[in-house]
Amino acid sequence: MAATRLRHRSALVLSLAIGFALVLPGAALAGAFTLDGAGGPGGRTTHRLGPGVSSVKYQRKPNVFYYDATGGNLRWGQKMSGVWSFATIDGAGGAGGRIDANVGEDQAASSRAGVLHVFYFDRTHGDLRHGWYDGSAWRFETLDGSGGGGGRLNANVGLEASATTFGGSLHVVYANIAGDVRHAVYDGSTWSFETLDGAGGGGGRVNASVGWNTAAIVFGNALHVFYFLQDPSCDPVCHLFGSIREATFDGSAWAFSSIRDINCCYVDQSLAPAVVSNTNVYLFFENFGLTSQNLRALRWDGSSWVNQGCVGEPFVQDDIVGADASAAVILGQPHVTYYDTFSSTLGGTAGVAHTFFNGTTWRTSLVGIDAGAPTASMKSGGVLKVFVGDAAISGGGAAAHDLVLATPANTGTPQPADTSCA
């Protein structure tokens, strides 16, 4: 599994035969502008930024964390009094527990008890790093991967992280590259660690390769963790067939189940939840076929996960759709933003696309960004904000690799979900 943990999409052979000409309008765009990567004031850089991004509200202000691929550092952006400022906070050495190493990939941010937390991968040492900010200063530590007490491992851990709070504690889930999902909990005074799934055990756990992505959310008075499993009986090179796993913690015990079979299992394969209510939860994910790659959805109706099919556009055999997805809920509507490499419904045009459900149908449009990974979405000022790493704004000339902020408009062409996309 370690050899496969690369950001790649080229291992899957996809046919690009041009099909249906259901062309959507170009940019349904309320705004898209470069936050960082083009240089300028406020601590900005000209480095290549992304692809992964994580965003969170802290003290009611948007904060964004992202990888400086040129310098191998963790970057931080914060909007205060309407002005963005940026800084390198780890990877270049310094005080407060900082290290000089290649850090900053696969960020996961959350806040607890007035403290902002960010978790990210240390590629140099194969560890999970942790930074926390009390409103005045940052401090840093290696959280897992270098051994120690409390259930820590001496192993290559920290990719595919996600984080949230539940029951007053901070929960972080992430991959052990050996093929397990790890879980760390902070109760306000002590960290504890465990292998959540992949190494066997009770409660529905499996002994298999898991952790190809993770997503941690709270609904129905429980913590839910989603992740991919590769079918252990399948070819370890092609990674054909697998499933979406769900781990549920009610405050006292974990329960595990597989909720959806999938065709392929790849690192960074999209897995993006959106909680509308306790009985209306969407889980967006990529699925692969021999000639297509689509964005699909499941919906929790309070008792079971129901297949919604392909969302955003019809199921077409030449589509390559759904990479790097992120989701959010705006005014009770689920929104998902993703990268569309090629789609006949977009006239063969690549770009970042946005889809939302208005209660009647899904509506889909491009957002004015030719390339990029829209891996972080949030509600800010009552509207959707999408942070896109490794991005190039449409019409910007030469290819860029910037951090871009987009505000997709609530418009677009109706594209009913295709439930034949099983």
pLDDT digits (tens, 9 = 90+) for 371-403: 999 999 999 999 999 999 999 998 876 679 999
Residue 23: count of CB within 10 angstroms of its CB? 13
CA-based radius of gyration for the chain: 20
Q: Coil, helix or strand for 281? A: strand
Structure tokens at 4: 């496969």
Determine the pLDDT at residue 101.
Answer: 98
The yes-or-no verdict on residue 19 having pLDDT over 70 is: no
Determine the pLDDT at residue 285.
Answer: 97
CA distances from 242 to 158, 182, 264 (A): 22, 19, 6
The yes-or-no verdict on residue 312 having pLDDT over 70 is: yes
Q: Is residue 159 part of a domain?
A: yes
Any residues with CB less than 8 A from the CB of 148 and at least 6 apart, and which? none
Determine the pLDDT at residue 418.
Answer: 86
Highest mean pLDDT: which range of 2-16, 98-112, 329-343: 98-112
Asked if 319 and 364 touch (Cβ cutoff 8 Å), the reply is no
* Closest of 267, 223, 262, 263 to residue 244, by C-alpha: 262
Computed over every residue of the chain, the mean pLDDT equals 89
The yes-or-no verdict on residue 124 having pLDDT over 90 is: yes
The yes-or-no verdict on residue 13 having pLDDT over 60 is: no
Place of tokens 């449009």: 365
Of the listed ranges 121-125, 146-150, 317-321, the least confidently predicted one is 317-321
Determine the pLDDT at residue 290.
Answer: 67
Instruction: Between 75 and 413, name the one with better pLDDT.
Output: 75
Indicate the pTM of the whole model. 0.92
Q: Is residue 81 part of a domain?
A: yes
CA distances from 241 to 124, 205, 267, 420 (A): 31, 18, 13, 19
DSSP for 45-58, written as a single string: --S-EEEEEEEEEE
Determine the pLDDT at residue 14.
Answer: 30
Determine the pLDDT at residue 23.
Answer: 29
For the chain, percent of residues with pLDDT exceeding 90: 76
pLDDT digits (tens, 9 = 90+) for 216-243: 999 999 999 999 999 877 766 667 789 9
Dist. CA 132–CA 116, nearest whole Å: 5
Give the count of domains, the chain: 1
* Closest of 107, 111, 139 to residue 122, by C-alpha: 107
Dist. CA 401–CA 179, nearest whole Å: 31
The yes-or-no verdict on residue 1 having pLDDT over 60 is: no
DSSP 279: T
Q: Is residue 420 part of a domain?
A: no
Asked if 346 and 23 touch (Cβ cutoff 8 Å), the reply is yes
**What's the average model confidence in pLDDT over 31-55?**
96
Determine the pLDDT at residue 288.
Answer: 84
Q: Is residue 310 part of a domain?
A: yes
Q: Is residue 371 part of a domain?
A: yes
CA distances from 307 to 219, 227, 283, 299 (A): 19, 17, 10, 7
Q: Is residue 422 part of a domain?
A: no
Q: Is residue 342 part of a domain?
A: yes
The yes-or-no verdict on residue 251 having pLDDT over 70 is: yes
Residue 381: count of CB within 10 angstroms of its CB? 8
Q: In which band, very low, low, confident or very high, does the pLDDT at 49 lie, cut at 50, 70 and 90?
A: very high
Dist. CA 48–CA 312, nearest whole Å: 30
Range of the domain at 406: 2-414
Q: 237-241 long-range contacts, Cβ below 8 Å, gap at least 24?
A: 238/11, 238/264, 239/4, 239/11, 239/264, 239/265, 239/266, 240/264, 241/265
Instruction: Between 132 and 398, name the one with better pLDDT.
Output: 132
**What's the average model confidence in pLDDT over 21-29?**
32
Specify which residues 236 forms β-bridges with.
none
* Closest of 352, 347, 320 to residue 337, by C-alpha: 352
CATH code (residue 68): 2.120.10.70
Determine the pLDDT at residue 384.
Answer: 96
pLDDT digits (tens, 9 = 90+) for 333-351: 999 999 988 776 666 678 9
The yes-or-no verdict on residue 413 having pLDDT over 60 is: yes
The yes-or-no verdict on residue 29 having pLDDT over 80 is: no
Of the listed ranges 8-12, 52-56, 282-286, 407-411, the least confidently predicted one is 8-12
Determine the pLDDT at residue 416.
Answer: 82
Determine the pLDDT at residue 267.
Answer: 87
**What's the average model confidence in pLDDT over 343-363?**
84
pLDDT digits (tens, 9 = 90+) for 176-210: 999 999 999 999 999 999 999 999 999 999 999 99
pLDDT digits (tens, 9 = 90+) for 267-309: 899 999 999 999 999 999 999 876 778 999 999 999 999 999 9
Residue 397: count of CB within 10 angstroms of its CB? 7
Place of tokens 């550092």: 73
Q: Is residue 419 part of a domain?
A: no
Determine the pLDDT at residue 410.
Answer: 84
